[in-house]
Amino acid sequence: MSAIRLLVLGAVRQHGRAHGYQVRNDLEYWGAHEWSNAKPGSIYHALKQMAKQGLLHAHEIAPSTAGGPPRTEYEVTEKGTEEFLALLRGSLASYDQRPDMLTASLGFMVDLPREDVLGLLEERVRTIEQWRKSVTEYYTPEDGPGQLGHIGEIMNYWVHSADTGAEWTRGLIERIRGGAYTFAGEGEPFVGVLREDEENPYATREPHPGDAR
Amino acid sequence: MSAIRLLVLGAVRQHGRAHGYQVRNDLEYWGAHEWSNAKPGSIYHALKQMAKQGLLHAHEIAPSTAGGPPRTEYEVTEKGTEEFLALLRGSLASYDQRPDMLTASLGFMVDLPREDVLGLLEERVRTIEQWRKSVTEYYTPEDGPGQLGHIGEIMNYWVHSADTGAEWTRGLIERIRGGAYTFAGEGEPFVGVLREDEENPYATREPHPGDAR
DNA sequence: GCTCGCTTAGTCAAACTTGACTACCGAGAT
DNA sequence: ATCTCGGTAGTCAAGTTTGACTAAGCGAGC
């Protein structure tokens, strides 16, 4: 699964009630069009689909005063909140090697209590270690590792990714355990969306070099 | 773009001529259903689409002797070979953070001359360094990095990934420069597909732990 | 001689993604 | 007065992905 549902649910949730264009602007503000598949079509599709599945509640609204077609506003339902939290926990704890999911869940991690996040990240480290073990066991032929030829580089890459990913996760755990950031139930939450009247300082900027998506 | 086209072109190319089920078996042999979106539907779709676009040439074949519906055999056209090499070079040189593309291109890298691969990997390192620079410049606010809150962890993760990715690439460059592996034009190529009569030792195995795809 | 299950080979609908496109309004320029 | 331009809000067709499903032959067992 892509990060689009997590992102859209998270954006609507932070507003309380939001229309598609607002969500679209938030995701652009977060730079999500750079590191995920957050394009207009995907966003509107996700909104409609999740409304159909009862994760969002859609309010039909009269034409906006600012031009353009009439807009629909959405609210996250209880079921939607559950889904959001499940997606968030899942992508913090699992090692699926998808940078978009991890990036999105880092952005939302403060919506969970500190202790929960620590537990999930520890689970993540365990998952990575287990994955590493299964890879090295599985792809080491009986005749010794030299037999694989250049295919061994694939395993080498995977193991390197797993090791550095685990190392980074341990660093994050330490920082969080050391008191960094403000988590759910610890006071004023971090504000990560644009207010209705606020302009987006990151709109229409040039892409990063080397982005081949 | 996903890795499916690169994988399918590569598989057909190594056979010279192959039908869909053969490609499907190769990809399973390579474990590609574990680390990419190589499922039956995607494979057959890619074959048909690339045939329509002239990258593959389709031969209609009589019903197989082994049961099942009649099968279609494919051959890579000249245009398809160009596309394959372009995809391969592109995914070796660019930093798109997609493990499936890099994994696939590591598997096929020996289809290129050694010097070409070295050049592409050096380009990869430069691309990563440039990307890292643009990220750190862009996301460091005027008031100092502390202002970002937990959002700074996203940048931290990206930078960590970039640095470890560059380091790994430098290691690979060294090994290849040191004479490892057999590249195009250097003699007997590595055989990476199943012969028609060979059984697949990796068929229907249990998934790796922690795979959340 | 018949059924059950396995392998072979591929199809299909539903969902998702992509990039381009539409339609509307207001503000400033002509 | 009207024209065009940029911002607002969303739609659409084409392509891709997913997971379940089909259909045909073969061999083991009854």
Name beta bridge partners: A18: A74
CA distance, residue B196 to nearest chain A CA (Å): 21
**Interchain contact, B157 vs A106, CB within 8 Å:** yes
CATH code of the domain in which A95 resides: 1.10.10.10
The secondary structure of chain B, three-state, reads CCCHHHHHHHHHHHHCCEEHHHHHHHHHHCCHHHHCCCCHHHHHHHHHHHHHCCCEEEEECCCCCCCCCCCEEEEECHHHHHHHHHHHHHHHHCCCCCHHHHHHHHHHHHHCCHHHHHHHHHHHHHHHHHHHHHHHHHCCCCCCHHHHHHHHHHHHHHHHHHHHHHHHHHHHHHHHHCCCCCCCCCCCCCCCCCCCCCCCCCCCCCCCCCCCC
Tokens found for residue B19: 């039908």
The answer on B35 and B90 residing in a single domain is yes
> Which residues have CB under 8 Å from B141's CB, separation 6+?
B147, B148
Residues B8 and B85 in one domain: yes
Per the listing, tokens 């954006």 go with A11
Q: What is the mean pLDDT of residues A103-120?
A: 97
Regarding whether B100 and B135 lie in a shared domain, the answer is no
- For CA atoms B10, B169, A138, B101, the dihedral sign is negative
Rounded-to-integer distance, Cα B125 and Cα B95, Å: 9
Q: Is residue B35's pLDDT more than 90? A: yes
Domain count, chain B: 2
How far apart (Å, rounded) are the C-alpha atoms in residues A93 and B28? 27
A190/B150 touch (CB, cutoff 8 Å), yes or no: yes
DSSP secondary structure of A127-161: HHHHHHHHHHHHT--TT-GGGGGGGHHHHHHHHHH
**Token output for A42:** 């995907």
Instruction: Find chain A residues with C-beta within 8 A of B96's C-beta.
Output: 211-213
Q: What is the DSSP letter of A209?
A: T
CA to C1' distance (Å), from A14 to C30? 45
- Residues in B closer than 8 angstroms to A90, CB to CB, are 212
Q: Cβ of B46 < 7 Å from strand D?
A: yes
CA–CA separation, B29 vs A157, rounded Å? Answer: 19
Nearest protein residue, CA measured to C1' of D11: A41
Residues of A in contact with B109 (CB under 8 A): 150, 153
* Residue B100 and residue B199 in one domain: yes
Inter-chain contact B208–A172, Cβ cutoff 8 Å? no
Q: What percent of chain B has pLDDT over 90?
A: 70
Please tell me whether residues B102 and B197 are part of one structural domain. Answer: yes
pLDDT given at position A137: 84
The radius of gyration of chain B's CA atoms, rounded to the nearest angstrom, is: 20
**Looking at residue A190, what DSSP letter applies?**
P
Task: Please give the pLDDT value at position A69.
Answer: 82
Distance B68 CA to C7 C1' (A): 9
Residue B38's CB is within 10 A of a number of other CB atoms, namely 26
Are residues B130 and B57 part of one domain? no
Count the neighbouring beta carbons within 10 Å of the beta carbon of residue B188.
6
Residues A200 and A99 in one domain: yes
Same domain, A52 and A147: no
pTM (global) more than 0.95: no
CA distance A100 to A78: 25
Closest-lying nucleotide for B46 based on CA to C1':
D16
What's the Rg (C-alpha) of chain A?
Answer: 20
- Identify which of B130, B150, B210 has the shortest CB distance to residue A127: B210
Same domain, B101 and B14: yes
Quickly state the pLDDT bin for B188 (edges 50, 70, 90): confident
Q: Is B62 exposed, middle or buried (0-12, 13-18, 19+ CB in 10 A)?
A: exposed
B176 shares its domain with B192:
no
Residue-level pLDDT at A68: 72
In this complex, the answer to whether residue A72 has its CB under 7 A from any atom of chain D, a nucleic strand, is yes
Q: Do A131 and B209 touch (CB under 8 A)?
A: yes
Position B209 confidence tier, pLDDT thresholds 50, 70, 90: very low
Our CA-based measurement puts residue A67 at a distance from the nearest CA of chain B, in whole angstroms, of 32
Give the integer Cα–Cα distance in Å for B142 and B148.
Answer: 11
Residue pLDDT, tens place only, A87-104 = 999 999 999 889 999 999
What average pLDDT does range B96-109 have in this prediction? 95
Residue B30 in this model has a pLDDT that exceeds 70: yes
Q: Do B153 and A106 touch (CB under 8 A)?
A: yes
Residues A67 and A29 in one domain: yes
Structure tokens at A155: 């395993």
- A101 and A176 assigned to the same domain: no
Nearest in space to B105 (alpha carbons), one of B11, B36, B3:
B3
The verdict on B7 touching A (C-beta cutoff 8 Å) is no
Q: Would you call B140 an interface residue with chain A, using a CB distance cutoff of 8 Å? A: no
Please determine, for residue A207, whether its predicted confidence score (pLDDT) is greater than 70: no
Closest CA of chain B from A176, distance in Å:
10
